[in-house]
């Protein structure tokens, strides 16, 4: 069974609602889903999953500090062990842009992970349409063998 890991940070619940929708979609497609706040996740979670979805709010044009903290904590253990692992990003912003997702992608790119879907970004509370996109993301991630890389970039780290 495919193991889908969903890691996220959320203070006011917007990204959390999206994380739950991604998890629900993946479960409905038959995956074994692990849904964890970034503060509770460890290196083993990432090493043992087949595919990961990473969710973050936009904080000052960057990922949330506690998502960055996750990468900081696990980097040394995982850095040579997650190449080609499929991933996707999602999150919520206020009035700004989607830079938070791009900063997560930069790190995943540096780890040589494989972005397999375009990120889903809500403005504040996710609409029903965005929740639908998140469920769809989860359903697609449950079948990672069918997914090709999107938006390949040179590592910049």
Ligand X SMILES: Cc1cc2nc3c(=O)[nH]c(=O)nc-3n(C[C@H](O)[C@H](O)[C@H](O)COP(=O)(O)O)c2cc1C
Choosing from 30, 96, 151, 155, the residue that interacts with ligand X (CB under 6 A) is 96
Choosing from 6, 7, 10, 23, the residue that interacts with ligand X (CB under 6 A) is 10
CA angle 15, 95, 117 (to 5 degrees): 50
Choosing from 46, 49, 68, 92, the residue that interacts with ligand X (CB under 6 A) is 92
Count of residues in contact with ligand X, rule CB under 6 A: 18
Q: How far is the CB of 99 from ligand X (least distance, A)?
A: 8
Q: Does the protein bind ligand X through residue 124 (CB under 6 A)?
A: yes
CA dist list (Å): 65 to 8, 36, 84, 90, 91 = 11, 16, 25, 16, 14
Q: Does the protein bind ligand X through residue 90 (CB under 6 A)?
A: no
Q: Does the protein bind ligand X through residue 133 (CB under 6 A)?
A: no
CA dist list (Å): 108 to 2, 25, 42, 128 = 20, 23, 16, 28
Q: How far is the CB of 40 from ligand X (least distance, A)?
A: 16
Gyration radius from the chain CA atoms: 14
CA distance 99 to 92: 11
| Burial class of residue 156 (count of CB atoms within 10 Å of its CB; 0-12, 13-18, 19+) | exposed
Nearest to ligand X of 32, 132 (CB atom): 132
CA distance 33 to 107: 23
Choosing from 4, 15, 88, 117, the residue that interacts with ligand X (CB under 6 A) is 15
Q: Does the protein bind ligand X through residue 59 (CB under 6 A)?
A: yes
Q: Does the protein bind ligand X through residue 95 (CB under 6 A)?
A: yes
Residues lying near ligand X in the complex (CB under 6 A)? 10-16, 57-61, 92-96, 124
């Amino acid at each position: 069974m495919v193991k889908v890991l969903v890691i996220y940070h959320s203070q006011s619940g917007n990204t959390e609602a999206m994380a739950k929708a991604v998890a629900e979609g993946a479960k409905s497609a038959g995956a074994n889903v692990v849904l964890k706040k970034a503060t509770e996740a460890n290196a083993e979670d990432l090493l043992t999953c087949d595919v990961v979805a990473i969710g973050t709010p936009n904080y000052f044009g960057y990922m949330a500090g506690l998502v960055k903290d996750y990468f900081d904590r696990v980097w040394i253990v995982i850095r040579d062990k997650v190449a080609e692992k499929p991933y996707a990003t999602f999150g919520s912003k206020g009035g700004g842009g989607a830079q938070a997702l791009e900063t997560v992608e930069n790190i995943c790119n540096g780890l040589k992970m494989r972005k397999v879907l375009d990120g889903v970004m809500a403005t504040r509370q996710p609409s029903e349409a965005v929740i639908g996109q998140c469920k769809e993301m989860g359903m697609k991630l449950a079948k990672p063998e069918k997914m090709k890389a999107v938006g390949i970039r040179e590592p910049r780290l």
